Amino acid sequence: MYQVNGMKDLVSNSVCEANPAPDHDVAIIGFGPTGATLANLLTLRGLKVVVFERDKDVFQLPRAVHFDGECMRVFQAAGIAQMLLPNLFVGPGMKFVNARGELMIDWSRPGGIGPQGWCASYKFHQPDLERALRAQLSARGGADVRLRHEVFALDERDDHVRIRFEDTAQCRLDCTTARYVVGCDGARSTVRRFIGTELADLKSHERWVVVDVLLEGERADLGDYSIQYCDPARPTTYTRGPHNRRRWEIMVMPGDDERRVGTAEWIWERLARWITPEHAQLERSAIYTFHSVIAQGWRRGRLLIAGDAAHQTPPFMGQGMAAGIRDASNLAWKLADVIEGALPETLLDTYESEREPHVRTFIETAVQLGGVIQATDSDAVAARDRAMTAAIREFRTPEPRLGPGWHAGAAGGDIGPQPVFEDGTRLDDAVGYRFALVVDEALAQRAHDALANTPQRERVAIVPAMQEPLRTWLAQAGARAVLLRPDRYVGGVAHDASELDALLERAGVACAQQRREAAAA
């Protein structure tokens, strides 16, 4: 018997089992950026969502500080991009320097609008992002958000999951049901434990002190570039945030006094090279172990995991939170299509198969960069410096394709571009959160006819390639039509009318010819 404060508060199994249908389509455990993004995308599709979060409010201090243009495109779909812009800083990139200040790696990021319709790199304040996601979710409706609620048991059934939880504000136990449960509940994920998956170790675990400060005035001398100080005596990272926010990450060294590490005195000693207490106030400091792990199994039946529950990366590429946002974007439309019956449940098997190789590329690259930054052996450092200063390396952000899954053809699994047209509009705003078929003008009428009078006609937005960026993209793809999935990855291409029909059928749309054949049969 489970008791709270000595009082019986046991929930009988019959309470949840009395309902013939699940109470919710999807239950999300964890209301950080990944969970809040997933909830927004699911409610865009009209699903009934419940969210459980242990804390009573947004965590008010910064954690993640960077996301990229692809993430901004997801936030655009969720409806918060314009809300975020005033409090973002466009990052120019990162430079790696050795102990003598010599440049070794130049990772410059273009400052203008890129292929995703947004800039390549944004610096942000995480509480601002979380508040925007929560406000948008509240305004849209469709989600039952339960703060100060902790899930402690998940019981899978044939057509739903029974979720048992504690309302910690009321010291009360209760339960509900959902068709699927997604754990966005962090590195110590409860849902991952119920799935029973293990973590694959990519062998990078180092302790760092993360320090966030608020500058008292302008400090242009600190610079806008992030700097990796690859000094074997004390590897350190500097990064600029929006407005007066700055962050330093300081590696804990073997000889450090554990009693002093992370104290204000210790921190100011480490930061004296750049700032003093007269220049800034400490907002937050925390000691982290930067892990590199990937879960081996992101789904079991009706239970799934996303974000830090599925993978953790060192911060050297600024891709930790971004990976969780990509998870939410990949998973949301698949859950919606499966729940609505548009596509088979096997579609959910493509979530891990597509995302795992993609996120692995970023984690392995971050580990490699960490090897450059965290090198302390004198011989290895000397060899590194000789090689890298003799020929400065220009680093470019990886652009991996998805792993095997719901896509086909030479372009399948690539992220599709988002042109910004002459009138300032963006492609995604024109098509909404659904499939989009970019098609040449000659085949556009065929596509319209194929969708005419079908119950599924709203599933796919037809975009005739009348504007130059779209014509150019089709030419580069060597196709007459390209199907973009709701997460804006390429699902497939078509070169003629028959391939076009097959592409639409694959997206869950019965074309006119197929309907005539079915009627004749």
From residue 344, give the alpha-carbon distance in Å to each of 348, 349, 350, 446. 8, 10, 11, 26
The 10s digit of each residue's pLDDT in 141-200 is: 999 999 999 999 999 999 999 999 999 999 999 999 999 999 999 999 999 999 999 999
User: Is pLDDT above 90 for 18?
Assistant: no
| C-alpha gyration radius of the chain | 25
Say which range, 83-87, 220-224, 318-322, 388-392, has the weakest mean pLDDT: 388-392
What pLDDT, on a 0 to 100 scale, did the predictor assign at position 511? 57
**Quick one: which of 397, 465, 408, 475 has its CA closest to 116?**
397
3-state secondary structure of 491: strand
pLDDT band at residue 4 using 50, 70 and 90 as cut-offs? very low
pLDDT band at residue 62 using 50, 70 and 90 as cut-offs? confident
Tokens read off for 53? 């979060």
What pLDDT, on a 0 to 100 scale, did the predictor assign at position 17? 55
User: Is pLDDT above 60 for 14?
Assistant: no
Rounded Cα distance between 189 and 309, Å, is 5
Residue 420 carries which DSSP code? B
What pLDDT, on a 0 to 100 scale, did the predictor assign at position 517? 52
User: Is pLDDT above 60 for 229?
Assistant: yes
Rounded Cα distance between 95 and 112, Å, is 19
Rounded Cα distance between 228 and 237, Å, is 5
The 10s digit of each residue's pLDDT in 207-216 is: 999 999 999 9
**Quick one: which of 435, 417, 438 has its CA closest to 481?**
438
The 10s digit of each residue's pLDDT in 360-415 is: 999 999 999 999 999 999 999 999 999 998 888 999 999 999 999 999 988 999 99
What pLDDT, on a 0 to 100 scale, did the predictor assign at position 10? 42
From residue 246, give the alpha-carbon distance in Å to each of 8, 79, 210, 213, 275. 50, 28, 11, 5, 11
User: Stretch 311-337: mean pLDDT, rounded?
Assistant: 96
Rounded Cα distance between 133 and 136, Å, is 5
What pLDDT, on a 0 to 100 scale, did the predictor assign at position 44? 97
Rounded Cα distance between 53 and 74, Å, is 22
What pLDDT, on a 0 to 100 scale, did the predictor assign at position 378? 94
Burial (CB count within 10 angstroms: exposed 0-12, middle 13-18, buried 19+), residue 433: buried
User: Is pLDDT above 50 for 1?
Assistant: no
- Which domains, from first to last, does the chain contain? 3-86+122-201+293-352 (3.50.50.60), 427-520 (3.40.30.10)
User: Is pLDDT above 60 for 15?
Assistant: no
The 10s digit of each residue's pLDDT in 243-299 is: 999 999 999 999 999 999 999 999 999 999 999 999 999 999 999 988 899 999 999
**Quick one: which of 416, 292, 417, 414 has its CA closest to 358?**
414
User: Stretch 105-113: mean pLDDT, rounded?
Assistant: 94
pLDDT band at residue 9 using 50, 70 and 90 as cut-offs? very low
CA 142, 145, 151 angle in degrees (round to 5)?
125
User: Which helix (H) or strand (E) segment is 468 a member of?
Assistant: helix 468-477
Residue 220 carries which DSSP code? G
3-state secondary structure of 324: helix
Contacts of 438 (CB under 8 A, 6+ apart): 463, 465, 470, 473, 474, 481, 482, 484
- Name the amino acid, one letter, at 90: V
What pLDDT, on a 0 to 100 scale, did the predictor assign at position 189? 97
